[in-house]
Amino acid sequence: MRKFDVVAIVGRKDDKPIYKNVGTIVEKDGKNYLLLDKVFNPAGLAEKDRDSVILSLFPPKVKEQNQQPVKAAAPQTQSQDVFGDEIPFN
């Protein structure tokens, strides 16, 4: 059972923090476990005068019943010529 979202401040924009969900706390068999995203690198959050990072815990947001699922973008079937040449790499 998901208990908390693990959130880090990954930057600032217009003097406001930019938050990113970097993991979750789950409970299984009466024990709590921390699951971090594989691509999350706490070293990237280092500030000048600190050797540690702060991660916040928030209760997971409850999704509304009436909320429609977001459809994923359809994959592109035609390749796009990004570099403007017609020479294939072999």
In a domain, 48, yes or no: yes
- The domain containing residue 10 runs over which residues? 2-58
Taking the C-alpha atoms of residue 3 and residue 33, their distance in angstroms, rounded to an integer, is 10
Assigned domain for 19 exists = yes
| Rg (alpha carbons) of the chain, rounded to whole number | 20
The reply to whether 72 falls in a domain is no
Q: Which residues of the chain have pLDDT under 70?
A: 46, 64-90
Does residue 76 belong to any structural domain of this protein?
Answer: no
Residue 80 lies in a domain: no
Average pLDDT value over all residues in the chain:
79
Helix, strand, or coil here: 45?
Answer: helix
Q: Is residue 71 part of a domain?
A: no
Residue 77 forms part of a structural domain: no
The pTM (predicted TM-score) of the whole model is 0.62
Structural domains counted in the chain: 1
